[in-house]
Structure 1
Amino acid sequence: MRRNQSETNETIQLLLKVARAHFTEKGFANTTLEEVADHANVTRGALYHHFKNKQGLFLAVLDLVQTEIGQRVEEEADRSDDPWEQLLLGCRAFIAAVVETQNKRIMLIDGPSVVGWEAWREMDEQNSMSHLSEQLVVLQEKGVIKPVSVDAMTHAISGALNECSLWVAQLPETAGSLEETMEVITGMLNGFKVSVL
């Protein structure tokens, strides 16, 4: 029984890897399940057994991308012991990860239109936004930021990060625009800081 479960997991991971490559290169509309099954060397029946349709497969890939980006945000933030620096590192990591070739089309272009805005936002809330919210709570408890609504702050900052990611992703050179974006994001975040006299 264990062997069958292990084989099933391997098949699912292979299908996700192959589908991610196809969705990245061709986009959702131009990817066919037949191609994914062929390149994964599985039958269409096996693919349909694990994912009921192309949208279901895309949703699983998008969830994988969202989870990976959330983990990267957390890992980058953990490079510092200073909570404020963690916030800035996390914001930078989010934008840098989202605009990478293997993520941007799935996350920014096809994601909201294929799964719907509400589902896309729910996935975002479970991953990157949850890390952001947790960090803002820590900063507020330490008296670093003003006692305003953490929910409102989380949505405002997340919205800015998503919009900036869309902007950076459209530019031919991302390194310079990422620096410009972080300068603006840092200035915005500084507005939430408690003034030290």
Structure 2
Amino acid sequence: MTVVAKRRAQMVEETRAKLIQAARKAFAAKGYAGASMDDLTAEAGLTRGALYHNFGDKKGLLQAVIDQIDGEMVARLRAEQDRAKTRWLGFLAESIAYIEMALEPEIQRIMLLDGPAVLGDPSRWPNQNACLRTTTQTIQALIDEGTVRPVDAEAAARLLNGAALNASLWIAAADDPHAVLAKAVEAFRHLTVGLLQTDLG
């Protein structure tokens, strides 16, 4: 890659990063509908043309913001898994941490309220496929080590991921998110314990 091409690629990345940062701030503060493209491009010091060129439209920009937040959530969940004493406790900690993130204003508004309203069913988002693969692999490993009963790993992963996602959506839309969180986490723990060979939960 020539120096000119390298610099051009770097400028494109910088432009994208500025737009994503400005949009993330605007979507979190005002919501997707309330954030005007003129305001967020002005905040980034860029033009609407830069937004259209890099993301196609406001919806494409929302997708990019969601992808960024999702990447951060995945890193945080992986850290939960790594801190745990066993694979099972790590899986449980990761799942509950995911549900608890529904209390965070930015995640609540962008990922759980505006995201589904604008981009459709979150269980069909590309990042959910990656999440499903990881959960399936974890459950298969738990089956292989004898912690979890011999069930179909993908079926269990789909059901547990669906339960965690729906719990998060419920919390985000609730009048009293903290009260709903407590109920959702308790029920989720009971659901997961049913997979164990013996009661390790």
TM-score w.r.t. the length of structure 1 is 0.88
Q: Are 1:123 and 2:101 counterparts?
A: no
1:164 shift after superposition = 1.4
- The letter of the residue matching 1:74 is R
1:78 shift after superposition = 1.0
Q: Is the 1:66–1:123 Cα contact (8 Å) retained in structure 2?
A: no
Per the alignment, residue 155 of structure 2 pairs with: 152
1:13 shift after superposition = 1.1
Q: Are 1:191 and 2:189 counterparts?
A: no
Q: 1:98 aligns with which of 93, 96, 102?
A: 102
- The letter of the residue matching 1:136 is I
Q: Is the 1:129–1:158 Cα contact (8 Å) retained in structure 2?
A: yes
Give me the whole-angstrom Cα distance separating, in 2, the residues matched to 1:104 and 1:123.
19
- The letter of the residue matching 2:75 is Q
Q: Is the 1:19–1:36 Cα contact (8 Å) retained in structure 2?
A: yes
Q: Is the 1:98–1:104 Cα contact (8 Å) retained in structure 2?
A: yes
Per the alignment, residue 39 of structure 1 pairs with: 43
Q: Is the 1:62–1:107 Cα contact (8 Å) retained in structure 2?
A: yes
Give me the whole-angstrom Cα distance separating, in 1, the residues matched to 2:54 and 2:124.
24
Give me the whole-angstrom Cα distance separating, in 1, the residues matched to 2:175 and 2:88.
29
Per the alignment, residue 78 of structure 1 pairs with: 82
Change in Cα spacing, 1:120 to 1:163, as seen in structure 2 (3 Å) is closer
Q: Percent identity?
A: 30
Q: 1:89 aligns with which of 93, 104, 109?
A: 93
1:88 shift after superposition = 0.9
1:182 shift after superposition = 2.4
Aligned length: 194
Consecutive unaligned residues in structure 2, runs of 5 or more? none
1:127 shift after superposition = 4.2
Per the alignment, residue 112 of structure 1 pairs with: 116
- The letter of the residue matching 1:95 is I
Q: 1:139 aligns with which of 137, 142, 147?
A: 142
Query: Superposition RMSD on alpha carbons, in Å?
Result: 2.0
1:188 shift after superposition = 0.8
Q: Is the 2:99–2:185 Cα contact (8 Å) retained in structure 1?
A: no
- The letter of the residue matching 1:53 is D
Per the alignment, residue 166 of structure 2 pairs with: 163
Q: Which moved further from structure 2: 163-172 or 65-74?
A: 163-172
Q: 1:178 aligns with which of 156, 181, 185?
A: 181
Q: Is the 2:19–2:51 Cα contact (8 Å) retained in structure 1?
A: yes
